[in-house]
Structures are given as structure tokens and as C-alpha cells.
Amino acid sequence: MGKGGNSHEEEEENMAAWLVGLNTLKIQPFKLPPLGPHDVRVRMKAVGICGSDVHYLKTLRCADFVVKEPMVIGHECAGIIEEVGSEVKNLVPGDRVALEPGISCWRCDLCKDGRYNLCPEMKFFATPPVHGSLAHQVVHPADLCFKLPDNVSLEEGAMCEPLSVGVHACRRAKVGPETNVLVMGAGPIGLVTMLAARAFGAPRIVIVDVDDNRLSVAKNLGADGIIKVSTNIQDVPEEVERICKEMEARVDVCFDCAGFNKTMTTALSATRAGGKVCLVGMGHNEMTVPLTPAAAREVDVIGIFRYRNTWPLCIEFIRSGKIDVKPLITHRFGFSQKEVEEAFETSAGGGSAIKYNSKDEEVDLI
């Protein structure tokens, strides 16, 4: 993976956005490693800003991952193949690709069992100490670069990464045409989870949030019902009643895309007996929630971590029109020191922003 440069001297110096300190990003040279026989060198054209990127910028950590030395940021990305390794047969220079950002070991029991997203040796873009992809170029394994159809843009290709979270969650929860879905949280991940659930056939989807603007976006993207809720846990019983009324049916699966005490309490309380609650968001490391009543109703609680084998399906959903991610791309920024800083400030500020894209001839930041 690109922790570093190219196997040959280039006329231009590869540059990247480095997280060098608390609230400090700098565009600096980024030396790429030699191109291996199964690798490709990709010129980045679209890179999204994720909540984890902002978290690293603001706190130098995300969950148990701590930034201890300067690190290139970014992991939602797509670009154009510039060079391929000697053993690469499925890609050629000029191909437009979306990149899956995690490199697993393929040797541990979890990898052998097909659950490579849980690999303890995972090397994931912009997860310390591994460098990310907000750069002019990166080197990456060819088998983690997925060719984009002609009608799928590079910006849409970069959106395959957040969309993969929703697709993986829907697979884990077994969403289908008979699954009524509740989504807690209308942020970027809540929205892509809603879109994925619809693509998997969910007949009715209700989404809740504390923010009117996000709920308006969710409604425009196809939510059957929207409910504004509070942050007060005392309001859960009344809100559950409103949720069930809005659903007009039982809640078969609830995706908690926030991960707070209140959202998980609401999810467990609103989901029908025998249903599923899928914890997607990780707002709190520890939560106090009513597990005993949920267990008495045999509500299954499942978790997800990242994704696995999702890029082909995400690309097909976008290609076929089953999912339209374009409305989620609300801002675009160029790859300059000033614009990268502005992009992260805009992302951290929330408001009407959902996803961001930098736009110049080198790299787009979405």
C-alpha cells in the first residue's frame, strides 16, 4: 500500500495532505514505495472526507487508533491507473477505478474464513500507522482496485467506500423485501444505509435524527417517514410510540448509525420481538442500554466493522441506478493548502454539508 513512491524517478514530486499535529494539515512530499508485481500506481481524482478523518484531525485519535507520527489522511477514493505491476492482468493504464482501502493478511483464520474485514493485521488507509490516499498518487494492490463502468463517475466511485458500510450492514441484518427498516441518525452513514436498505428491497424505511436539515435530505432521498427526536433519554417511550405509528408496521430491523446511549435504547425498544438491531455508529465506546427487556423479546444485536466484498455490488447499484449517491456530494474543494483546510473545516462544522470533493486536475476532495 502507499506508505510511500514510485519505482522510478518521476518528473513531478508526489504530494499529499499530511496530518502533522492537532488541527494541523500540511501538503508535503509523499514518497511512494516501489511498484510490486501485483500492485498498481493510481493517480487520485476523488477523495472523500470521512468523520474518522475529522476525528483524527481534531483529537489525533479514533477509538483505539492513535496518531503518533505524521500521517497522510484520507481513505474514500477513486482515480486513474497510471502504471501496473508485471503480474497485473485485469487492469491497464487509463482505467478508472475505485479503491478498497484495507489490505488484509489473507493468512489468519478470519481471512481464511472470509471475514477479512476483521483481520488483526489489517493495513487500512489513514489508520495509524498506515498512510492514506489524499495524495496525487498512491500504490495499491490491483485486486483492491475496481474498474468503474463508463456511466459511473470518479466521484461516485469514491462514494463506494461509505456506501460499503451500508451494504455490509444490510447483508449482516439480512434486509430484504419483507424487512421494514428503522434508521437512527441521518448523517452520511445513516443516509447510505437507508439507500442500501432500499436497494436490498426494504418496503418501508423510517429515519430519525435531531436535525431538521438532515431529515429533509433523508426525505428527498426517499425515506418513507422522518421523525425529529431529542437528545433526552427520558423521551424514548414517547418517541418509540411515534416511530411505530410512522412505520405503520412492525420494525423488523433497526440500524443505529449514531451509537449513543439514547439511540441504542430507542433501537432496542422500537424493534419488534424477534427482530434485529445492527450497531453501525460508534458514538460511545461504552453504553448503558436496556438489554434485558430486549433479550426477553429475543431481539438480536449484531455489530459491523467496516465491510467485506462490497465494491462490486456498490458499483452495480450505482451503475444500474438503484442507488444515486450524487445528491450526497454537496461540496467540492481543490487540492491546495487553503482548500484542504477549508474542506476539513466545512466537514467538521456539519450544517448542510454531507460529502466533500476537491476539484482540480490532480485530485478531487469529496
Quick check: 220 and 327 in contact, CB under 8 A?
yes
Measured distance CA(348)–CA(146) in Å, rounded: 30
Three-state DSSP class for residue 85? coil
pLDDT of residue 253: 98
What's the pTM?
A: 0.92
Bridge partners of 40? 84, 140
With a cut of 80, say whether residue 144 has pLDDT above it.
yes
Measured distance CA(104)–CA(118) in Å, rounded: 9
pLDDT of residue 347: 87
Measured distance CA(143)–CA(7) in Å, rounded: 19
Mean pLDDT in residue range 87-113: 98
pLDDT of residue 84: 98
* 7 pLDDT tier (thresholds 50, 70, 90): very low
Which grid coordinates are listed for 140? 495499491
With a cut of 70, say whether residue 120 has pLDDT above it.
yes
DSSP labels, 297-316: TT-EEEE--S-SS-HHHHHH
Measured distance CA(234)–CA(143) in Å, rounded: 49
Mean pLDDT in residue range 301-319: 98
Q: Please write the tens of the pLDDT for every residue from 158-179.
A: 999 999 999 999 999 999 999 9
**How do beta strands 181-184 and 300-303 pair?**
unpaired
Measured distance CA(175)–CA(54) in Å, rounded: 30
Kindly state the DSSP code that residue 195 receives in the 8-state scheme.
H
Measured distance CA(155)–CA(325) in Å, rounded: 9
Q: Which of 113-122, 234-243, 276-285 has the lowest mean pLDDT?
A: 276-285
Mean pLDDT in residue range 255-271: 97
With a cut of 70, say whether residue 3 has pLDDT above it.
no
